[in-house]
């Protein structure tokens, strides 16, 4: 291969990688919109055939598990089983601060997103609010997701959401206990439960507990060489 051909091939690969990053970002943003408007079928359609969602220490597997989470549990909890936007219900998921890493073969990728949720029930529909959640609340979490190119289309392979905090809008997060707790019983014993409970060392207690979410991407300056020792050296310790 000539130098020109090599440069063109490298450029073509780089452009392809940028297109992949944009497609994955669009995929994740679409997920946020479909969640907002309670469209579980569209949510499930974003996932690979063997896709999975990790939520509250449980893993929901395949389209059946994903529909159980978004189409049964969430829909029943927030909208009384109704599809689409519901009068008086606010449930907006913002997908932010993405760092996307595409594998060299461009068939798989990893990405970290920050999610922020504003939720609540208007006074007009307060009688429909379930027990537990405050009438107005905030929530934030970190996604560390895996993606796969399936039949030429990027899809979510594993959506791993680790809640960071929840806050009652009226009193603030300093005075709030999380209204959602980690799963402890699997499906089918729990009709709304996950297919698998995560191992004990991956138990995820919620706010005010905090825990590190390992980053899928290399340090943008120090790359893979970044270690605690390197950081200590930079700080003169």
Question: What's residue 148's pLDDT?
Answer: 98
Are 149 and 24 contacting, i.e. CB atoms less than 8 angstroms apart? no
Q: Is the confidence at residue 156, as pLDDT, over 90?
A: yes
pLDDT tens-place string over residues 13-52: 999 999 999 999 999 999 999 999 999 999 999 999 999 9
231 contact partners, CB below 8 Å, separation of at least 6 = none
* Distance set, CA 62 to CA 67, 94, 109 (Å): 9, 24, 19
Helices H / strands E in the chain, number of each: 5, 7
70 contact partners, CB below 8 Å, separation of at least 6 = 35, 40, 43, 44
Question: What's residue 95's pLDDT?
Answer: 95
For the chain, the average pLDDT equals 90
Give the Cα separation of 140 and 166 in Å (integer).
7
Question: What's residue 75's pLDDT?
Answer: 87
Least confident of 20-29, 45-54, 88-97, 225-234: 225-234
Question: What's residue 225's pLDDT?
Answer: 54
Q: Report residue 236's pLDDT band, with 50, 70 and 90 as the boundaries.
A: very low
197 contact partners, CB below 8 Å, separation of at least 6 = 57, 58, 59, 183, 184, 185, 186
């Amino acid at each position: 291969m000539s130098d020109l051909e090599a440069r063109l091939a490298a450029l073509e690969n780089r452009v392809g990688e940028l297109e992949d990053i944009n497609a994955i970002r669009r995929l994740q943003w679409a997920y946020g919109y479909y969640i907002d408007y309670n469209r579980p079928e569209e949510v499930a359609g974003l996932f690979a055939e063997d896709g999975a969602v990790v939520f509250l220490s449980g893993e929901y597997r395949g389209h059946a598990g994903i529909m159980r989470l978004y189409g049964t549990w969430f829909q029943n909890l927030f909208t009384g089983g109704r599809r689409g936007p519901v009068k008086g219900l606010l449930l907006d998921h913002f997908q932010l601060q993405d760092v996307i890493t595409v594998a060299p073969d461009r068939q798989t990728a990893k990405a970290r997103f920050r999610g922020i949720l504003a939720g609540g029930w208007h006074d007009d529909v307060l009688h429909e609010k379930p027990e537990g959640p405050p009438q107005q609340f905030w929530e934030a979490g970190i996604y560390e997701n895996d993606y796969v190119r399936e039949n030429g289309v990027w899809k979510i392979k594993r959506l791993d959401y680790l809640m960071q905090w929840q806050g009652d809008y009226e009193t603030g997060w300093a005075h709030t206990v999380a209204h959602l707790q980690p799963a402890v019983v699997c499906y089918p014993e729990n009709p709304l439960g996950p297919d698998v409970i995560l191992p004990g060392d991956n138990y995820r207690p919620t706010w005010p507990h905090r825990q590190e979410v390992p980053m899928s991407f290399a340090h943008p300056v120090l790359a893979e060489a970044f270690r605690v020792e390197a950081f200590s050296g930079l700080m003169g310790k």
